[in-house]
Amino acid sequence: MNIQVKVLGTGCAKCKTLEKLTREVVSEYAIDAEIEKVEDIVEIMKYGVMSTPALVVQGKTVVSGRIPSKDEIFNLISKTSHES
């Protein structure tokens, strides 16, 4: 199953860090996921996110306004993908 993961952020350092960590987690755990970086503020607002960076898994915002650890990213991706 291909998991849809989106990193929402306008391109700040925290947003880039979250994207890098997310890509590392997907690679290290061989997760079948498609990662998309969303920098368009109008698109970001559609998710109801008030502060970036944010992580969206399968269309559901799972983190916003902070950078989660790699373990937390893995848990969020695997938990949310099983709920879908």
Q: Quick check: is 12 catalytic?
A: yes
**For residue 45, what is the enclosing H or E element?**
helix 41-45
Q: Compute the distance between CA of residue 65 and CA of residue 29 in angstroms, rounded to an integer.
A: 25
The number of angstroms, rounded, from the C-alpha of 33 to the middle of its chain's C-alpha atoms is 11
Q: Do residues 33 and 2 lie in contact, with contact meaning Cβ atoms separated by under 8 Å?
A: yes
Q: Which of 11, 12, 69, 82 is catalytic?
A: 12
Q: Which of 3, 5, 7, 15 is catalytic?
A: 15
Q: Quick check: is 71 catalytic?
A: no
Q: Write out the catalytic residue numbers.
A: 12, 15
